[in-house]
Amino acid sequence: MHPDVARDSMPFMVTANSSGQLIVVVNGPGETAGWLQPLVAAVRRRVPGVRVIAALVPCRFASGCEAEVARGIEGPDHVWETRQTMRYILRGIRPAELRPDLPGCLLHLGGEPMLSRLLAKRLGYPVYLYTDNHAMIRGSASAASPA
């Protein structure tokens, strides 16, 4: 995520003494095993008090072990299995680990972007998409792309 995006759009994540909630949407084995851990480690160095929730969404390449892998890595405070994430998106059944009283944002690392937008809308959080495809970004989503 570009530092200016974090500084301008996620004020609760700027200072180490603040608290907030970061929902990271991941879908397949690559995002879960390869991106989630370094991302969470970097966020924790910058904002030690932030709560991080990994929210899994459906993926045709899923091995079925993504939740177990996400729980096994150092970083996320909680992991929502695909079923929990989809129940919240579609039915509003809130996972117990969610703290609706905290400010936060959603970072989309993989999966269908529309699911992240729907989840962010349900949460009332801004959504940021890590992507190299700026053409797909419309409306309330912000793109954080690699340099």
Residue 73 has pLDDT above 50, yes or no: yes
Residue 115 has pLDDT above 90, yes or no: yes
What domains sit in the chain, N to C, each tagged with a CATH number? 20-143 (3.40.50.2000)
- At 138 the pLDDT is 47
Q: What does the alpha-carbon distance between residue 71 and residue 14 come to, in Å, rounded to a whole number?
A: 26
Lowest mean pLDDT among 25-34, 50-59, 131-140: 131-140
Q: What is the mean pLDDT of residues 115-137?
A: 82
- At 3 the pLDDT is 38
Residue that wins the pLDDT comparison between 35 and 63: 35
Nearest to 99 by CA among 19, 43, 26: 19
**Joined tokens for residue 54:** 């990994």
Helix axes 113-123, 82-91, angle to 10 degrees: 60
